[in-house]
Structure 1
Amino acid sequence: MEQPSNRNIVRIIQGRREEAARRVVEEFPLRLRVNDRDLATLVCSPHQLNYLVAGFLRLQGFIDSLDDIIIMGVCQADAQAELRLKSEVPGQLRPILTSGCGTGITFNLPQSILRSSAALCRSYRAADVFHVMRELNDRAEHYRNHGGIHSAAIGDADGLRLYAEDIGRHNTLDRLAGEALFRNLDLQNKLLVTSGRISTEMVAKAARLGVGLLASRTSPTDKAIDLCEQAGITLIGYLRGDRMEIFSHPQQLTVNDHPAHP
């Protein structure tokens, strides 16, 4: 995990001025080159960059497993990741700048994956969702210390399985996807909780991972709700304490052993 730096600030409290130090997070632009082509610049936090890069490529549909990567080199000093893939990268990429912190980027929404996900029948317990979110909050030390960091986690009935944090909420999902590849973990039908707003690119990435429930401490966008409806994903917002609001597919969630119908 990266170490935040300290910056000198002037603090005003009740009209009084005082000098102080404030811990701030680092914003790290990582240049990504694939098959001798500049593919993207990922604005991220400078830790475990191999997870971030592998997860980004996985969620953009460029790789399915680590076997699809011939060579991967990440040089933090040069702020560059260089990869050689078995397959060719399409000649005409049409990147879409998304609403993610640090200018999230996505090249496509996996419509075929959304259709196949919608056909699944899933079941979750509200108690497990609350439990995984509590575990996420317990691990989010950086957010509590200085703010500016998003966190996300994958879990199930047994609790939290994967955890990631980054300055960009979309980057946290890439990190989870990459770590799952390195650890050979199947995320099909797991639940995903996040500290940040849920927008369409977050839903698309969750669907590509096979996640069936997506929950946040904050709000989803209207189009994220529509996309979750199409993908068969239970979408939960304002998950705080013992409260939650269910925006899509409530029948897949049981509360006190009863489906949470609208």
Structure 2
Amino acid sequence: MQMTTRDDLDHFLIAPDPKRGDLTRAVIGRDHNGDEIPLSVVEERPLTIFLNGQEIVTAMTIGDYPEYLALGFLRNQGMLQPGETVLGVDYDAELETAVVRTDGQTTYEEKLKKKTRTSGCAVGTVFGDMMEGLEGLELPQTALQTSWLYRLSAQINRTPSLYLEAGAIHGTVLCKGDVPLVYMEDVGRHNAVDKIAGWMLSEGVSADDKILYTTGRLTSEMVIKTAMMGIPALVSRSGFTAWGVEIAREVGLTLIGRMKGKRFVCLAGEERLVWDADPNQIPDENRKHGRKGN
């Protein structure tokens, strides 16, 4: 049995903290035999995001990294413009609000009227003109080595996480080459992505040489968010939607799904793959270490 070591976690700038007490709750239930069983279940709480004085959205979240979630959501919705200065993010735990303050004016009344409910769990919301942010977008044509994919998958699947502790949650990991850097989790995969976007914005991290790894489905929303962040590659353990594939091909995003063990499928950007690993040398995934189905 291959265990995660301290060395495996040292490269993470942010890693999951499955033992953090306020993210789960202990519940007593009964199993299929009628026996009493203790279970750890994920907490879910609202976060209302404001941009300056304007209320934008209320998201259901596990409650960690609210500042990053607020920043990333606004960034991925195109509500924080390039060059706009973020003066600060004020989080109030009691009021369950995060206020992002900028040096610009907020005039998104019309934008807020055009909402599209997405397929994301925990009721993802995309504003109707979000696709406008993709017009003229050209992602960097960064090469992606298949050996990186295998090493990332093995490392991430062995990392202690809230998902392995309690389930009912998605994970998203920002990577560089074969090194996972920032691992975020949430009840909605879009929230996990937004947290990473917020961290990148806050820390001034470039996207050109990054890979985004997710446990969720490769839907249009996931592809759009990744492209808006400027990340050239998106990888998932799960499958695709047709619109997600179409958008990835249009913007030049390398899109890889069904990444389990030695197997994966690339439906966009296959010309950027560098086949430097022999799949026959990669062990099949042990289900004890792999994630459960979405």
SS for the counterpart of 1:116 is coil
Is residue 255 from structure 1 mapped to residue 257 from structure 2 by the alignment? no
Q: Determine the C-alpha separation between the residues in 2 that align with 1:78 and 1:90.
A: 23
Alpha-carbon offset, residue 38 of structure 1 = 1.8
Could you say which residue in structure 2 is the equivalent of 1:63? 80
Higher alpha-carbon deviation: 58-67 or 133-142: 58-67
Higher alpha-carbon deviation: 167-176 or 55-64: 55-64
- 1:139-176 deviation line (CA, Å, top 9, x unaligned): 35211122111111111225112211111101111000
Could you say which residue in structure 1 is the equivalent of 2:290? none
Could you say which residue in structure 1 is the equivalent of 2:136? 115
Q: TM-score, normalised by structure 2?
A: 0.80
Alpha-carbon offset, residue 48 of structure 1 = 1.1
Could you say which residue in structure 1 is the equivalent of 2:232? 212
Find the partner of 1:230 among 233, 246, 250: 250
Higher alpha-carbon deviation: 69-78 or 249-258: 249-258
Could you say which residue in structure 1 is the equivalent of 2:199? 179
Contact 1:66/1:182 (8 A) holds in 2: no
Could you say which residue in structure 2 is the equivalent of 1:21? 38
Is residue 243 from structure 1 mapped to residue 263 from structure 2 by the alignment? yes
Alpha-carbon offset, residue 138 of structure 1 = 2.5
Find the partner of 1:141 among 161, 164, 167: 161
Q: Which runs of 5+ in 1 are unaligned?
A: none
Could you say which residue in structure 2 is the equivalent of 1:49? 66
Question: 1:66 and 1:174, CA in 2 relative to 1: closer, same or farther beyond 3 A?
Answer: farther
Q: Which runs of 5+ in 2 are unaligned?
A: 1-16, 279-294
Q: TM-score, normalised by structure 1?
A: 0.89
Alpha-carbon offset, residue 132 of structure 1 = 2.1
Is residue 32 from structure 1 mapped to residue 53 from structure 2 by the alignment? no
Q: Determine the C-alpha separation between the residues in 2 that align with 1:213 and 1:157.
A: 11
Tell me the amino acid that sits aligned with residue 117 of structure 1: E
Contact 1:44/1:171 (8 A) holds in 2: yes
Could you say which residue in structure 2 is the equivalent of 1:72? 89
Q: Determine the C-alpha separation between the residues in 2 that align with 1:76 and 1:66.
A: 29
Contact 1:114/1:207 (8 A) holds in 2: no
SS for the counterpart of 2:256 is strand
Contact 1:155/1:191 (8 A) holds in 2: yes
Q: Determine the C-alpha separation between the residues in 1 that align with 2:221 and 2:179.
A: 25
Identity, % of aligned pairs? 26
Contact 1:136/1:152 (8 A) holds in 2: no
Contact 1:132/1:156 (8 A) holds in 2: no
Contact 1:140/1:151 (8 A) holds in 2: no
Q: Over aligned residues, Cα RMSD in angstroms?
A: 2.1
Question: 1:65 and 1:139, CA in 2 relative to 1: closer, same or farther beyond 3 A?
Answer: farther
**Runs of 4+, deviation exceeding 6 Å:** none
SS for the counterpart of 1:115 is coil
Alpha-carbon offset, residue 112 of structure 1 = 5.0
Q: Determine the C-alpha separation between the residues in 2 that align with 1:114 and 1:159.
A: 31
Alpha-carbon offset, residue 213 of structure 1 = 1.1
Q: Determine the C-alpha separation between the residues in 1 that align with 2:240 and 2:43.
A: 27
Alpha-carbon offset, residue 10 of structure 1 = 1.2
Between structures 1 and 2, the one with greater strand share:
1
Could you say which residue in structure 1 is the equivalent of 2:210? 190
Aligned length: 254
Could you say which residue in structure 2 is the equivalent of 1:89? 107
Is residue 3 from structure 1 mapped to residue 23 from structure 2 by the alignment? yes
SS for the counterpart of 1:148 is coil
